């Protein structure tokens, strides 16, 4: 029984991290119809930066967020303005896969060159700490990672729903042409949207570094499940991505009991195939995905 509770709790905690990362990924598609294969490579880059910061300074890796979040935001804006916006709108989605695939390979190569392929792990004074909930042992670092993801998602939600920028971003996602005609500078908004998407990778990567062993090619392990999540949730839908992430994260965690870690991962792909067969527009988004 305690194993089941432990799996549920761990699934929810993992789902929170998935939710944040998938929200960023779906934001790129929503704003610019970009399939951002390099999202998870930036995630691993942020994890490396957190590890490097902590190793070099002896400070908590969470403090690296003060640098990586604004840095990744600026890189995102720059990427959109200098690279993505130069792709032809008619082939944007397809070409963005190739472009961001190349960026992912470049980041992986650079990480391997600078930090070598050796596996790295942040050493934390509280790294081994845990506590008990209904008989289940929960690692403190997993809870911190979840808290970080939850707070970031809440901030993202408030930005999107309560601010003038958020309203303009949502309008750009829903009808770019009409958004331009009400006076929104959709190019600038798309740049900022891309920056926010990449900032979520900075937060996610730092959260990941608390609890995981990292190596340059780790991003391939993440991009598949994240892509599956945004399709199941409905391309372009942030609430859809968040809900799908929690459901699939929980499902994966529960399946680890009877199937083991490797086979439990296939749950994402089974969900992806089932969605494409039954409801290709996704379960929670819909309208945007239907248009593409």
Partner 1 sequence: MASEYLLELEDIEAGYGRAALVLRGLTVKVPPATVVCLVGPNGAGKSTVLKVASGMLTPRSGTIRVAGQDVTGFNPQKMLGAGLSHVLQGHSVFKEMSVEENVMLGAYSLTDRAEIAERVDFVKDLFPMVAERWKALAGALSGGQQKQVEFARSLMVRPQVVLLDEPSMGLDPKATAIVFEQVVRMRDAGTAVLLVEQNARRALETADLGCVLDLGRVHISGPASELLADPQLAELYLGGRPATPTTT
Place of tokens 């901030």: 155
Q: Closer CB to partner 1, residue 145 or residue 184? A: 184
Residue 120: strand pairing partners: 214
Three-state secondary-structure class, residue 130: strand
* Closest CA relative to residue 240, chosen from 77, 18, 8: 18
**Contact pick of 183, 261, 277, 278 for partner 1 (by CB under 8 A):** 183
Residue span binding partner 1 (CB under 8 A) among the ranges 35-43, 109-117, 125-133, 179-187: 179-187
Q: Where would I find the H helices in 58-91?
A: 65-82
167 near partner 1, rule: CB under 8 A: yes
Closest distance between partner 1 and the C-beta of residue 13, in Å? 30
Which residue in 63, 83, 171, 259 binds partner 1 (CB under 8 A)?
171
What x-and-dash track marks residues 109-148 binding partner 1 by CB under 8 A? ----------------------------------------
Encode 147-158: b = buried (16+ Cβ within 10 Å), e = exposed: ebbeebbeebee
| Two tokens, residue 187 | 């190019």
Q: Report the residue from 175, 217, 254, 259 that binds partner 1 according to the rule CB under 8 A.
A: 175
Give the one residue of 69, 145, 149, 184 binding partner 1; rule: CB under 8 A. 184
The stretch near partner 1 (CB under 8 A) out of 17-25, 80-88, 175-183, 193-201 is 175-183
The yes or no reply on residue 185 touching partner 1 (CB under 8 A) is: yes
Q: Where would I find the H helices in the chain?
A: 2-32, 39-57, 65-82, 92-115, 140-162, 164-174, 176-181, 186-211, 219-233, 238-259, 261-264, 266-278, 287-291
Nearest distance from C-beta of residue 242 to partner 1, angstroms:
15
Q: In whole angstroms, how far apart are CA 87 and each of 19, 33, 198, 283?
A: 28, 11, 19, 30
Residue 57 or 174: the one with the smaller Cβ distance to partner 1 is 174
Rounded to the nearest 10°, the torsion over CA 270, 92, 170, 280 is -30
Q: Which of 88, 177, 258, 262 binds partner 1 (CB under 8 A)?
A: 177
Based on the shown chain and the rule CB under 8 A, indicate whether residue 31 belongs to the binding site for partner 1: no
| Binding segment (CB under 8 A) for partner 1, from list 16-24, 128-136, 182-190, 202-210 | 182-190
Kindly report the number of other CB atoms within 10 A of residue 18's CB atom: 28
User: Would you say 89 or 127 has its CB closer to partner 1?
Assistant: 89
159 binds partner 1 (CB under 8 A): no
**Chain residues that interact with partner 1, rule: CB under 8 A:** 164, 167-168, 170-171, 174-175, 177-185, 287
């Amino acid at each position: 029984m305690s194993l089941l509770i432990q799996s549920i709790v761990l699934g929810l905690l993992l789902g929170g991290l998935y939710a944040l990362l998938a929200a960023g990924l779906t934001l790129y598609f929503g704003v610019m119809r970009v399939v951002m294969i390099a999202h998870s490579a930036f995630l691993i880059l942020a994890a490396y930066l957190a590890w490097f910061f902590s190793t070099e300074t002896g400070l908590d890796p969470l403090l690296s967020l003060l640098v990586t979040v604004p840095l990744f935001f600026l890189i995102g804006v720059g990427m959109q303005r200098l690279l993505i916006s130069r792709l032809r709108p008619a082939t944007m989605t397809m070409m963005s896969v190739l472009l961001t695939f190349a960026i992912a390979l470049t980041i992986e190569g650079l990480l391997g060159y600078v930090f070598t392929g050796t596996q790295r792990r942040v050493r934390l004074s509280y790294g081994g700490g845990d506590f008990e909930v209904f008989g289940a042992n929960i690692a403190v670092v997993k809870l911190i990672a979840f808290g970080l993801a939850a707070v970031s998602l809440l901030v993202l939600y408030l930005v999107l729903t309560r601010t003038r920028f958020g309203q303009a971003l949502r309008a750009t996602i829903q009808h770019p042409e009409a958004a331009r005609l009400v006076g929104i500078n959709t190019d600038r908004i798309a740049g900022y949207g891309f920056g926010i998407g990449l900032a979520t990778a900075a937060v996610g990567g730092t959260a990941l570094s608390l609890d995981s062993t990292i190596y340059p090619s780790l991003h391939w392990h993440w991009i598949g499940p994240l892509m599956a999540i945004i399709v199941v949730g409905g391309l372009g839908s942030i609430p859809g991505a968040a809900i799908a992430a929690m459901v699939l994260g929980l499902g994966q965690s529960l399946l680890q009991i009877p199937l083991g870690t490797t086979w439990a991962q296939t749950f994402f792909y089974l969900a992806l195939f089932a969605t494409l067969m039954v409801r290709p527009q996704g379960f929670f988004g819909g309208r945007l995905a239907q248009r593409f």
